[in-house]
Amino acid sequence: GQSLEQPSEVTAVEGAIVQINCTYQTSGFYGLSWYQQHDGGAPTFLSYNALDGLEETGRFSSFLSRSDSYGYLLLQELQMKDSASYFCAVHNTDKLIFGTGTRLQVFP
Amino acid sequence: EAQVTQNPRYLITVTGKKLTVTCSQNMNHEYMSWYRQDPGLGLRQIYYSMNVEVTDKGDVPEGYKVSRKEKRNFPLILESPSPNQTSLYFCASSLNRGRHEQYFGPGTRLTVT
């Protein structure tokens, strides 16, 4: 079967650093993406990792370990506007399989 | 403005009444896809299309049909909607199968009574 696991909820304060983990089990794997979704909005793309290692884009970084079937999204210098749901998604040939999402709440 | 549009944004219908949700993109993208989002289940892929006249099933295709007659349009058809198809639907597109950033439409909230 295919499954992705991520925590359902994470809380943090403004200015802090938070890490959202994602573990996956899939029959085929081409890469791991991360998406952000604000309440009432559409998902927006954040990052993609095909190879092991860290990808950095501004305050956000994403990491992948293919041998461990594991990745994470790191958000630094948290801001109130970062309060949203975050989804990891596995690229499996031409399909995209999403996790159930992690709700991040940032407090002042 | 580069975008993915969906219509309607909200729809309430009755069981068995055929409906179509339209999706259009103006970015000349080859890859298009439909997802449904349900609480606690995340986004699940219904169908995808890698190019005109090429469509394939995602993880939850039962009860849905799609077509891709033109590159820009990818309508989702529910021939006989049932209450378990009440959901939030998103259309998305990406440049091609190798480009991983997907652009999502605003969503269509469908209620089937």
Quick one: tokens of B95? 């440049």
Hey, is B101 helix, strand or coil?
coil
pLDDT tens-digit profile of B35-49? 999 998 999 999 999
Q: Which of residues 41-60 of A touch B (CB under 8 A)?
A: 41-45, 48
pLDDT at residue B1 in the model: 84
Q: For residue A42, give the chain B residue with the closest CA.
A: B106
**Distance separating alpha carbons of residues B99 and B95, to the nearest angstrom:** 6
Strands (E), A14-69: 18-25, 31-37, 44-49, 53-57, 60-65
Q: How many CB atoms lie within 10 A of CB B36?
A: 23
Q: Three-state SS for B108?
A: strand
Interval B62-106: pLDDT, tens: 999 999 999 999 999 999 999 999 999 999 999 877 668 999 999
Interchain proximity B42–A100, CB inside 8 Å: yes
Distance from CA of A12 to the nearest CA of B (A): 22
Q: Determine what percent of chain A is predicted with pLDDT higher than 70.
A: 99
What is the distance between the alpha carbons of residues B108 and B38, in angstroms, rounded to a whole number? 12
Half-sphere exposure of A6 (CA within 13 A, CB side): 30
Condensed to tens digits (0 to 9), the pLDDT of residues A83-108 reads: 999 999 999 878 899 999 999 999 99
Tell me what the mean pLDDT of segment B7-12 comes to: 97
> Which one of A45, A49, A96 would you mutate to disrupt binding with B, by most B Cβ within 10 Å of its Cβ?
A96
Distance from C-alpha of B85 to C-alpha of A58, rounded to nearest angstrom: 39
B105 touches chain A (CB under 8 A): yes
Pair B74, B20: CB distance under 8 Å: no
Name residues whose C-beta falls within 8 Å of residue A40's C-beta, 6 or more positions apart in sequence.
none
**CA–CA min distance A92, chain B (Å):** 11
Of B44, B58, B101, the CB nearest to A45: B101
User: Cβ separation of B90 and A94 shorter than 8 Å?
Assistant: no
Chain A partners within 8 Å of B35 (Cβ) = 98
Scanning B12-71 for CB atoms below 8 A from A yields 31, 33, 35, 40-45, 48, 50, 56, 58-59
